[in-house]
């Protein structure tokens, strides 16, 4: 009973003028503030994503350029060292050469080992005396460096694995090789100068661009090979792979790395030069949640502020509604007194409310006015019939317009799917009687999802409108051009004696689109599938299915192409 009483009181309160005004003002305030908050949050999210992505790209570029410079300098250093008179004319097995190698290693902490091998692959000199007399003929660096300077890809240490100290006990010792041939004054090969640089030197170079703030923001730096396989860090080797980018020209993208997380990712390839072409890529990525944490916090604050403001405005609206409704409630009570007791009531004094005073006077003269209104109503009824006929004509015109809207696409103005199906049904039923074959073209915009994702749906809509205009320009008046769905269009060609006629139209459409310029997007291509009608078709959908199959073949051919699937006769 207590619940029902409370419910009834609440219902009566909301049904009153005071309750309705409070609810409407509070609701509209909340809706406006939420809309502004969501829109502001969307803009902030977009801008923050762009800022984060550009920051990652700049850091990835910096790391790539720094690593390129270091690799090139080390190869140039080895290349210059092997041209020194000491190596070209001196005793390669003598102490002077060894001292030169030791001094070079002491000056460069990145070198783990430097050595000289004779033309037969026997190590003549080496820092620390390591590998002296060893046969290195089968080592890739020795084989490659006999003809010119060589920079080798990352590999695990083999001969030196147990001879050198290693600071990372949880992973193998890894090197990259720099080597160059040593020739005498007559151009005869005297040996090969080689240096094994620590892989940790490469990784430290790349890690140097990551700040402590980046690490707190879960920014990770990776090195991958040209196939996307992770080379660094070691805990992700053979466990993670760089995903395929949708847009190789973009500075950054949101990519799914296959571990259940989406990352804001920037990938920069190392540029090859005359000495080095390893195909490495520097990858910086940041978990999407971490990248957008500050934006989402701002959005939540905006929503909370909006809710608080809406509540405050609702309270102010309630107080205003109370002030307005009280004189009206008193006037209602006075009118009910007249209804029940048939006596003159005491109307409320409308202090500071001229409208209520005028309303009280109006009630007294209302009866007289009602009689006059009855006579006016009789005259109005006489003119009502003529107005009804006028409205009927206007309604018929509106129905014609609705019928037109029901068969056209609201965005492009082309026929819609319903109109296309109706035309196709008519041609299918007329084929056995009149013998007029027809053809269907299915046209699909290539990579249209990329247009929407990159430039926004408003640009995508403009592209669809321009595509529709091109299709109309490339077809006859008797042809039916329809938007089939999304970025897919259909063209129905009547009176086609052979499907090759449809191929001519398809090529015309394909070339026109390829040569067209689309604002903001630039150039776009389409793929077209063609099929003709067949007497053996059991329904009108068969030719569309064949044209759709041809469209998939055109896509498989690399897009921007035309494919045909013939129907049996």
Catalytic entry in 110, 253, 288, 487: 487
Contact 542, 534 (CB under 8 A): yes
Which residues 6+ apart lie within 8 Å of 246 measured at CB?
253, 450, 453
Give 551: exposed, middle or buried? Use CB within 10 Å, 0-12, 13-18, 19+: buried
Distance between CA atoms of residues 361 and 365, nearest Å: 7
Which residues 6+ apart lie within 8 Å of 421 measured at CB?
540
Tell how far CA 222 is from the center of its chain.
Answer: 23
The token duo for 274 is 């005359």
Distance between CA atoms of residues 442 and 530, nearest Å: 7
Distance between CA atoms of residues 147 and 153, nearest Å: 18
Distance between CA atoms of residues 145 and 71, nearest Å: 16
Distance between CA atoms of residues 420 and 401, nearest Å: 18
Phi and psi angles of residue 215, each rounded to the nearest 5 degrees, phi first: -65, -40
Tell how far CA 52 is from the center of its chain.
Answer: 15
Contact 89, 185 (CB under 8 A): yes
Q: Any catalytic annotation for residue 487?
A: yes
The token duo for 209 is 């661009």
How many Cα atoms are found within 13 Å in the side-chain-facing hemisphere of 47?
A: 8
Contact 310, 22 (CB under 8 A): no
- Kind of pairing, strands 526-532 and 562-564? parallel
Place of tokens 């969307």: 42
What are the catalytic residues? 487
């Amino acid at each position: 009973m207590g619940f029902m009483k409370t419910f009834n009181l609440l219902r009566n309160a909301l049904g009153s003028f005071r309750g309705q005004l409070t609810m409407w003002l509070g609701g509209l305030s909340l809706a406006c503030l939420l809309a502004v908050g969501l829109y502001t949050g969307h803009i902030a999210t977009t801008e923050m994503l762009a800022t984060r992505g550009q920051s990652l790209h700049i850091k990835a570029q910096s790391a790539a350029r720094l690593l390129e410079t270091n690799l090139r300098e080390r190869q140039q250093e080895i290349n210059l060292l092997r041209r020194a008179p000491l190596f070209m004319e001196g005793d390669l097995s003598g102490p002077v050469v060894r001292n030169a190698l030791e001094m070079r290693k002491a000056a460069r902490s990145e070198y783990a080992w430097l050595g000289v091998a004779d033309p037969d692959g026997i190590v003549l000199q080496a820092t620390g005396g390591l590998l002296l007399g060893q046969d290195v003929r089968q080592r890739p660096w020795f084989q490659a460096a006999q003809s010119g300077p060589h920079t080798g890809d990352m590999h695990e240490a083999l001969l030196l694995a147990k001879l050198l100290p290693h600071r990372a006990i949880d992973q193998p010792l890894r090197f990259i090789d720099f080597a160059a041939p040593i020739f005498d004054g007559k151009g005869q090969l005297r040996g090969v100068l080689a240096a094994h640089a620590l892989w940790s030197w490469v990784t430290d170079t790349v890690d140097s661009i990551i700040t402590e703030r980046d690490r707190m923001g879960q920014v990770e730096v990776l090195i991958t090979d040209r196939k996307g396989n992770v080379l660094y860090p070691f805990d992700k080797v053979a466990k993670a792979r760089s995903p395929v980018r949708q847009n190789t020209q973009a500075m950054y993208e949101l990519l799914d790395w296959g571990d259940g997380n989406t990352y804001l990712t920037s990938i920069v390839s190392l540029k090859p030069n005359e000495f080095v072409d390893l195909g490495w890529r520097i990858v910086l990525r940041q978990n999407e949640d971490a990248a957008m944490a500050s934006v989402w916090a701002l959005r939540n604050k905006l929503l909370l502020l909006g809710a608080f403001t809406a509540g405050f405005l609702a309270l102010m609206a309630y107080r205003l509604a109370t002030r307005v409704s009280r004189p009206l409630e008193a006037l209602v009570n006075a009118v009910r007194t007249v209804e029940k007791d048939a006596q003159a009531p005491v109307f409320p004094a409308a202090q500071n409310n001229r409208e209520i005073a005028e309303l009280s006077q109006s009630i007294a003269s209302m009866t007289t006015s009602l009689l006059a209104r009855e006579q006016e109503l009789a005259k109005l009824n006489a003119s009502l019939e003529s107005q009804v006929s006028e409205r009927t004509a206007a309604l018929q015109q509106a129905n014609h317009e609705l019928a037109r809207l029901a068969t056209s696409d609201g965005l492009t103005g082309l026929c819609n799917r319903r109109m296309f199906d109706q035309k196709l049904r008519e041609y299918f039923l007329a084929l056995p009687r009149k013998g007029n074959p027809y053809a269907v073209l299915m046209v699909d915009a290539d990579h249209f999802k990329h247009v929407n994702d990159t430039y926004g749906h408003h640009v995508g809509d403009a592209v669809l409108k321009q595509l529709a205009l091109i299709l109309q320009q490339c077809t006859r008046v008797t042809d039916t051009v329809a938007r089939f769905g999304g970025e897919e269009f259909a063209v129905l060609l009547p009176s086609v004696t052979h499907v090759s006629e449809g191929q001519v139209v398809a090529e015309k459409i394909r070339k026109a689109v390829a040569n067209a310029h689309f604002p903001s997007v630039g150039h776009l291509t389409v793929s077209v599938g063609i099929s003709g009608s067949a007497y053996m078709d059991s329904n009108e959908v068969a030719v569309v299915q064949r044209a759709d199959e041809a469209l998939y073949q055109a896509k498989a051919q690399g897009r921007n192409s035309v494919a045909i699937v013939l129907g049996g006769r």
